[in-house]
Amino acid sequence: MLRRHPETIGGAALLVVCLVSGVPVLAGGVDLAIPLAVWAILFGCYVAALATTAITSESERRMLPTAALAVSVGTVATLVLTAPGAGWLPILLVFTAALAVYVVPPGVCWLLVAANTGVIAVASMTHGARATDAALGAAIYLLLQVGVVASVIADRRREQANADLAVANTELAATAAVLAETSREQQRLEIARDLHDALGHQLTALALELEVASHKATEPAAEHVARARVLARELLADVRASVSELRDRPTDLAAALDTIAQAVPHPVVTVTVAPDVETDTRTTATLVRVAQEVVTNAIRHSGARRVDIDVRTVDGRTVLDASDDGHGARALREGNGLTGIRERIEGTGGTVTFVPHDEERGFRVRAVTR
């Protein structure tokens, strides 16, 4: 699935610069230590490996991007050493070091910067430069690499911090929504108990007293006693109906899910709850936690820009469908989050289905409660 991101534009620009930097050599304007055809093949391998590294850098399977990076490092060093007079060709070393931040730990990146600097110094001296000139050129590229790598590392850490904050906000919003619904239910139950224990008992006693009075009263008081008896019974029935309504009133699932949606600025979360959906407190809490895990997964893993949550009633069961527009996963691996979703749904007697990737959407979850 194609996605438009600023990184896509940056990657395209990087590819153009790589190609342009190799044009003077490919045009035959630079002396080479190896045949031009061999150099061209190595250059093509480098571009392909660099592109593969960029495309797969966020993949859960680390073997492919790591291998592609290793090929990039080896080929670019060979390209620079065999074309020492190629002008701006060493800039490719800077790009490679910057891209390495997305694949390997920072410590390895700094080792790569040091190795690239040595390659530049050796290439300069091979081209006949004086030691001072070679050292100056190597120092310039060293500073370039340090600046770029440090900037990318800082940006990655900022992204991670923002993601952690978004996840924390999601968890806090979900907890607040569940606590709010639980608190409202407790308040309703307390009111229902008070109505039943106080008014219910007193009205029952009043109805009994009026029943006795109706047998002893004479006209014209008997007629008024009979009316009062009817009113007492009707009022008692109303109280009992109110108590039942308070106990059985469904929770506000839509408001609870909206709390999560509003707490996350990115990705954009849209919530749709069908009007006929009615859930108790337990089911509401379960679905809120499922939505929390879906949003958390989108933030941490899929790189999604949008998450859609749809809740409706199907054959008497409440069904939650959630999906994002991220890159998904080729294989499903249930971590703590997905395992938690499965345990919550199955704990209600329901079922859950995970679709790690399809043609139109990224990761998808369908949860059916009892």
Q: Is residue 313 part of a domain?
A: yes
257 and 300 housed in the same domain:
yes
The model's confidence at residue 100, banded by pLDDT at 50, 70 and 90, is very high
Instruction: Kindly report, residue by residue over 289-348, the tens digit of the pLDDT.
Output: 888 888 888 888 777 788 999 999 988 889 999 888 877 666 566 667 788 888 888 888
DSSP single-letter state for residue 317: E
Q: pLDDT over 70 for what percent of the chain? A: 75
Which residue reads 């093949």 in tokens? 41
From first CA to last CA, the distance across the chain in angstroms is 34
The model's confidence at residue 143, banded by pLDDT at 50, 70 and 90, is very high
DSSP H helices in 298-334? none
221 and 273 housed in the same domain:
no
Are 54 and 11 in contact by the 8 Å Cβ rule? The answer is yes
Instruction: Kindly report, residue by residue over 241-272, the tens digit of the pLDDT.
Output: 665 655 555 577 888 888 888 888 888 889 99
Closest CA to 49 of 30, 77, 29: 77
Q: Is residue 330 part of a domain?
A: yes
Phi-psi region of 322 (alpha: psi -120 to 50; beta: other; left: phi over 0): beta
pLDDT at 3 over 50: no
| Residue 2: predicted pLDDT | 41
| Residue 139: predicted pLDDT | 92
The residue-averaged pLDDT of 133-141 equals 87
Are 120 and 90 in contact by the 8 Å Cβ rule? The answer is yes
Q: Is residue 328 part of a domain?
A: yes
Instruction: Kindly report, residue by residue over 160-218, the tens digit of the pLDDT.
Output: 888 888 888 788 877 877 777 777 666 666 665 666 556 656 666 666 666 667 666 66
Instruction: Kindly report, residue by residue over 19-37, the tens digit of the pLDDT.
Output: 888 888 888 877 888 899 9
| Residue 124: predicted pLDDT | 86
Domain carrying residue 198: 189-248
Q: Which of 129, 145, 178 is the last residue of a domain?
A: 129
255 and 241 housed in the same domain:
no
| Residue 202: predicted pLDDT | 66
Q: Is residue 38 part of a domain?
A: yes
The total of structural domains in the chain comes to 3
Q: Is residue 143 part of a domain?
A: no
Q: Which of 129, 153, 175 is the last residue of a domain?
A: 129
Q: Report CA-CA distances (Å) from 49 to 4, 15, 72, 98.
A: 22, 11, 5, 14
Closest CA to 365 of 294, 299, 274, 284: 294
Q: Is residue 136 part of a domain?
A: no
| Residue 251: predicted pLDDT | 73
Average predicted confidence (pLDDT) for the chain: 80
